[in-house]
Amino acid sequence: MENEAGALSRVAGLFSARGYNIESLSVAPTEDPTLSRMTLVTTGSDEIIEQITKQLNKLIEVVKLVDLSDGDHIERELMLVKVRAMDKDREEMKRLADIFRGNIIDVTDKTYTIELTGTSSKLDAFLQAIEHSLVLETARTGASGLGRGERILRV
Protein backbone atom coordinates (compact mmCIF):
# COMPACT_ATOMS: atom_id res chain seq x y z
CA MET A 1 0.00 0.00 0.00
CA GLU A 2 0.99 3.62 -0.37
CA ASN A 3 3.29 4.62 2.46
CA GLU A 4 1.01 7.46 3.55
CA ALA A 5 -0.34 8.72 6.84
CA GLY A 6 -3.80 7.36 7.39
CA ALA A 7 -3.49 4.26 5.22
CA LEU A 8 -3.24 1.99 8.25
CA SER A 9 -6.28 3.52 9.92
CA ARG A 10 -8.29 3.03 6.74
CA VAL A 11 -7.55 -0.69 6.88
CA ALA A 12 -8.20 -0.95 10.61
CA GLY A 13 -11.38 1.13 10.23
CA LEU A 14 -12.66 -1.09 7.46
CA PHE A 15 -12.27 -4.20 9.61
CA SER A 16 -14.08 -2.72 12.59
CA ALA A 17 -16.81 -1.05 10.50
CA ARG A 18 -17.67 -4.27 8.70
CA GLY A 19 -17.25 -6.54 11.70
CA TYR A 20 -14.23 -8.50 10.47
CA ASN A 21 -11.50 -9.85 12.76
CA ILE A 22 -7.90 -8.79 12.76
CA GLU A 23 -5.81 -11.51 14.39
CA SER A 24 -2.56 -9.74 13.71
CA LEU A 25 -1.29 -6.98 11.55
CA SER A 26 2.27 -5.98 10.77
CA VAL A 27 3.30 -3.11 8.57
CA ALA A 28 6.54 -1.38 7.60
CA PRO A 29 7.99 0.48 4.62
CA THR A 30 9.49 -1.64 1.84
CA GLU A 31 12.70 -1.24 -0.17
CA ASP A 32 10.69 1.32 -2.14
CA PRO A 33 10.04 3.99 0.50
CA THR A 34 6.82 5.12 -1.19
CA LEU A 35 5.29 1.73 -0.43
CA SER A 36 4.55 -0.17 2.77
CA ARG A 37 3.84 -3.82 3.03
CA MET A 38 1.17 -4.98 5.39
CA THR A 39 0.64 -8.56 6.41
CA LEU A 40 -2.73 -9.08 7.98
CA VAL A 41 -4.00 -12.29 9.49
CA THR A 42 -7.74 -12.77 9.59
CA THR A 43 -10.27 -15.57 9.71
CA GLY A 44 -13.62 -16.17 8.08
CA SER A 45 -15.59 -18.32 5.67
CA ASP A 46 -14.69 -18.23 1.96
CA GLU A 47 -17.46 -15.67 1.40
CA ILE A 48 -16.15 -13.41 4.13
CA ILE A 49 -12.56 -13.66 2.91
CA GLU A 50 -13.81 -12.80 -0.58
CA GLN A 51 -15.60 -9.72 0.76
CA ILE A 52 -12.58 -8.69 2.82
CA THR A 53 -10.39 -8.98 -0.28
CA LYS A 54 -12.79 -6.93 -2.38
CA GLN A 55 -13.29 -4.28 0.28
CA LEU A 56 -9.55 -3.90 0.85
CA ASN A 57 -8.94 -3.60 -2.87
CA LYS A 58 -11.41 -0.72 -2.95
CA LEU A 59 -9.29 1.34 -0.56
CA ILE A 60 -7.51 3.92 -2.68
CA GLU A 61 -4.18 3.40 -0.90
CA VAL A 62 -4.11 -0.36 -1.38
CA VAL A 63 -1.90 -0.93 -4.40
CA LYS A 64 -1.94 -4.70 -4.57
CA LEU A 65 -3.34 -7.48 -2.48
CA VAL A 66 -2.67 -11.22 -2.39
CA ASP A 67 -4.13 -13.91 -0.21
CA LEU A 68 -0.92 -15.70 0.80
CA SER A 69 -2.85 -18.70 2.02
CA ASP A 70 -4.16 -19.24 -1.53
CA GLY A 71 -0.85 -20.91 -2.30
CA ASP A 72 2.37 -22.14 -0.71
CA HIS A 73 3.88 -19.52 1.47
CA ILE A 74 6.28 -18.99 4.31
CA GLU A 75 5.42 -16.97 7.36
CA ARG A 76 7.33 -15.88 10.40
CA GLU A 77 6.55 -14.03 13.54
CA LEU A 78 9.00 -12.67 16.08
CA MET A 79 8.30 -12.91 19.78
CA LEU A 80 10.28 -11.49 22.68
CA VAL A 81 9.38 -13.17 25.92
CA LYS A 82 10.68 -12.31 29.37
CA VAL A 83 10.51 -15.25 31.75
CA ARG A 84 11.30 -15.81 35.39
CA ALA A 85 14.47 -17.92 35.44
CA MET A 86 15.50 -18.82 38.96
CA ASP A 87 16.74 -21.95 40.69
CA LYS A 88 15.66 -25.06 38.86
CA ASP A 89 13.67 -23.04 36.24
CA ARG A 90 16.84 -21.36 35.01
CA GLU A 91 18.24 -24.48 33.41
CA GLU A 92 14.81 -25.58 32.18
CA MET A 93 14.26 -22.23 30.40
CA LYS A 94 17.60 -22.45 28.68
CA ARG A 95 16.82 -25.97 27.55
CA LEU A 96 13.36 -25.05 26.21
CA ALA A 97 14.74 -22.01 24.40
CA ASP A 98 17.26 -24.29 22.72
CA ILE A 99 14.61 -26.83 21.76
CA PHE A 100 12.55 -24.08 20.12
CA ARG A 101 15.72 -22.60 18.56
CA GLY A 102 15.27 -19.39 20.49
CA ASN A 103 18.06 -17.10 21.66
CA ILE A 104 18.47 -15.70 25.09
CA ILE A 105 19.23 -12.07 24.40
CA ASP A 106 19.07 -10.53 27.86
CA VAL A 107 19.90 -11.96 31.24
CA THR A 108 19.45 -10.90 34.86
CA ASP A 109 19.76 -12.91 38.06
CA LYS A 110 16.08 -13.58 37.98
CA THR A 111 15.06 -13.40 34.31
CA TYR A 112 15.83 -14.39 30.77
CA THR A 113 14.57 -12.59 27.72
CA ILE A 114 14.15 -15.03 24.87
CA GLU A 115 13.90 -14.16 21.20
CA LEU A 116 11.91 -16.63 19.20
CA THR A 117 11.01 -16.67 15.53
CA GLY A 118 8.64 -18.95 13.71
CA THR A 119 5.08 -19.46 12.64
CA SER A 120 2.54 -18.07 15.02
CA SER A 121 1.58 -21.58 16.10
CA LYS A 122 5.18 -22.37 17.03
CA LEU A 123 5.27 -19.28 19.24
CA ASP A 124 1.98 -20.39 20.80
CA ALA A 125 3.48 -23.82 21.39
CA PHE A 126 6.47 -22.35 23.18
CA LEU A 127 4.23 -20.35 25.49
CA GLN A 128 2.27 -23.49 26.25
CA ALA A 129 5.41 -25.47 26.93
CA ILE A 130 6.57 -23.21 29.74
CA GLU A 131 4.74 -22.80 32.97
CA HIS A 132 2.26 -19.97 32.68
CA SER A 133 3.28 -18.27 35.93
CA LEU A 134 6.87 -17.91 34.73
CA VAL A 135 5.94 -15.71 31.76
CA LEU A 136 6.49 -12.11 32.81
CA GLU A 137 5.95 -10.30 29.53
CA THR A 138 5.59 -11.01 25.84
CA ALA A 139 5.86 -8.84 22.76
CA ARG A 140 4.82 -10.34 19.43
CA THR A 141 5.11 -8.71 16.01
CA GLY A 142 2.29 -10.50 14.24
CA ALA A 143 3.00 -12.64 11.23
CA SER A 144 4.66 -11.50 8.06
CA GLY A 145 4.93 -13.68 5.05
CA LEU A 146 6.02 -14.21 1.46
CA GLY A 147 4.93 -16.57 -1.27
CA ARG A 148 7.11 -19.65 -1.57
CA GLY A 149 9.47 -20.14 -4.50
CA GLU A 150 9.24 -17.84 -7.52
CA ARG A 151 5.93 -16.32 -6.43
CA ILE A 152 6.44 -12.61 -5.80
CA LEU A 153 4.23 -9.66 -5.05
CA ARG A 154 5.45 -6.80 -7.21
CA VAL A 155 3.79 -3.53 -8.00
Partner 1 sequence: MSIELTTEAVELTGAEITIRCLQEEGVSHIFGYPGGAVLFLYDELFKQDKVRHILVRHEQAALHAADGYARSSKKVGVALVTSGPGVTNAVTGIATAYMDSIPLVIISGQVPTAAIGQDAFQEVDTVGITRPCVKHNFLVKDITELAPTIKKAFYIASTGRPGPVLVDIPKDVTQQKAAFHYPASISMRSYAPVTNGNTRQIKKAVQMILNAKRPMIYSGGGVILNDAAAELTELVRMLDFPCTNTLMGLGGYPATDRRFVGMLGMHGTYEANMAMQYCDVLIAVGSRFDDRVIGNPKHFYSEERKIIHIDIDPSSISKRVKVDVPIVGSVSEVLKELIKLLKASKETADAHALQKWWKQIELWRARDCLKYDQSSSVIKPQMVVEKLYEVTGGDAFITSDVGQHQMWAAQFYKFDQPRRWINSGGLGTMGFGLPSAMGVQIANPGGTVACITGEASIQMCIQELSTCKQYHLPIKIINLNNRYMGMVRQWQEFFHGNRYAESYMDALPDFVKLAESYGHVGMRIEKPEDIEGALRDAFKLEKQLVFMDFITDQTENVFPMVPGGKGLSEMILV
Residues that bind partner 1 (CB under 8 A): 1-2, 5-6, 9-10, 13, 17, 47, 50-51, 54-55, 57-58, 60-63, 155
Secondary structure (3-state) at 150:
coil
Which lies closer to partner 1 via its Cβ, residue 6 or residue 33?
A: 6
Residue 35 or 134: the one with the smaller Cβ distance to partner 1 is 35
Least distance between partner 1 and beta carbon 57 (Å): 7
Q: How far lies 59's CA from each of 2, 32, 35, 70, 85, in Å?
A: 11, 20, 15, 21, 47
Cβ-based nearer residue to partner 1, 46 or 87: 46
Query: Do the Cβ atoms of 90 and 46 come closer than 8 Å?
Result: no
Output 17 or 152, the one with its CB closest to partner 1: 17
24 closest CA partner among 10, 6, 38, 4? 38
- CB 151, min distance to partner 1, A: 21
Count the Cβ atoms, other than its own, within 10 Å of residue 85.
24
CB of 93 to partner 1, least distance (A): 44
The residue type of 48 is I
